[in-house]
């Protein structure tokens, strides 16, 4: 999401696009959501959703609830926090993707999963090394 694509809405909410990528077979490549976020009231809602399947290179309407959510799913809460808590972005390793067409986003998705998987593996290895050093110093 880019700052130039965040729009102010009546009542203090902001509107922006959020993309959720999938790795599972049978799922779309990603779902593009139109999201409204109200930082002052700590709530979020979806105002539109479309699935993109790279096989068909086409967007299709997806199901969603348009109700304001005070306890949203994790991915939606992270989107709210990205917008409402900009200071936490770097600590939580949150990055904006920038502006790109759907086909380019579909190509970038698998690369993002590879990067995340490498980071998770690296963290697990470092945790084992730290645990080994902790055991050595305890003896």
> pLDDT for 2-40, tens place per residue?
444 788 888 889 998 888 888 788 888 888 899 999 999
* Most confidently modeled range among 25-29, 62-66, 86-90, 130-134: 62-66
**What's the pLDDT at 4?**
47
Give tens-digit pLDDT for 98-134: 666 656 666 666 666 566 566 667 777 878 787 777 7
Higher pLDDT, 13 or 138: 13
Average pLDDT rounded to a whole number, residues 60-84? 90
Asked whether residue 68 carries a pLDDT value surpassing 90, the answer given is: yes
| Burial class of residue 22, CB neighbours in 10 A (0-12, 13-18, 19+) | middle
**What's the pLDDT at 25?**
84
User: Is residue 101 classed as helix, strand or coil in its secondary structure?
Assistant: coil
Confidence of residue 70 (pLDDT cuts 50, 70, 90): confident
Query: Which strands, in side-by-side order, build the sheet including 43-53?
Result: 7-8, 14-21, 30-38, 43-53, 58-61
């Amino acid at each position: 999401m880019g700052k130039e694509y965040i729009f102010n809405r009546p009542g203090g909410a902001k509107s922006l696009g959020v993309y959720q990528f999938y790795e599972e077979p049978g799922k779309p490549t990603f779902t593009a959501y139109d999201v409204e976020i109200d930082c002052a009231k700590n709530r979020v809602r979806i105002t539109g959703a479309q699935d993109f399947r790279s096989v068909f290179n086409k967007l299709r309407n997806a199901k969603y609830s348009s109700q304001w959510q005070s306890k949203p799913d994790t991915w939606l809460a992270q989107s709210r926090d990205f917008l409402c808590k900009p200071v936490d972005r770097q600590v939580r390793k949150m990055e904006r993707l920038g502006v790109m067409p759907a086909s380019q986003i579909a190509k970038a998705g698998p690369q993002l999963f590879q990067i995340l998987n490498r980071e998770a593996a690296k963290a697990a290895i470092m945790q084992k090394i730290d645990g080994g050093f902790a055991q050595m110093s305890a003896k």
